[in-house]
Amino acid sequence: GESVGLHLPTLSVQEGDNSIINCAYSNSASDYFIWYKQESGKGPQFIIDIRSNMDKRQGQRVTVLLNKTVKHLSLQIAATQPGDSAVYFCAENENFNKFYFGSGTKLNVKP
């Protein structure tokens, strides 16, 4: 299968600071990427997506950056809040077919 991984398994940030979660992928043919948030005991929830013809996309307090040259994806969360504490996954997809997920990064927000 595809290799989608995360550099940091756990990230601790202070409430109000910005968070950056990174992800590396190996399939250069992947053309669609998604970030998911998973809270304890729940299924993953969509946060933001980006297609390969873009290098940046912004949502509400979140920004995804895509660097196809080095096959790297990042999720930036502005003014991190306690409710942002969760596990974050990146996922890649080729031709709207199968999604492959990374192993996840746990985000801890300290009050």
Residue 84 corresponds to which amino acid? D
**Shortest Cβ distance from residue 102 to another protein (Å)?**
6
Distance of CA 8 to the CA centre of its chain: 12
**Shortest Cβ distance from residue 70 to another protein (Å)?**
21
Distance CA 110, CA 30 (A): 35
- Which is nearer to another protein, 18 or 46 (by Cβ)? 46
- Which is nearer to another protein, 104 or 109 (by Cβ)? 104
Beta pairing class for 86-93 and 72-77: unpaired
- Which is nearer to another protein, 44 or 75 (by Cβ)? 44
- Which is nearer to another protein, 80 or 89 (by Cβ)? 89
* Contact footprint for another protein (CB under 8 A): 1, 32, 34, 36, 41-46, 49, 89, 91, 96-104
Distance of CA 65 to the CA centre of its chain: 9
**Shortest Cβ distance from residue 80 to another protein (Å)?**
22
Q: How far apart are the first and last CA of the chain?
A: 39
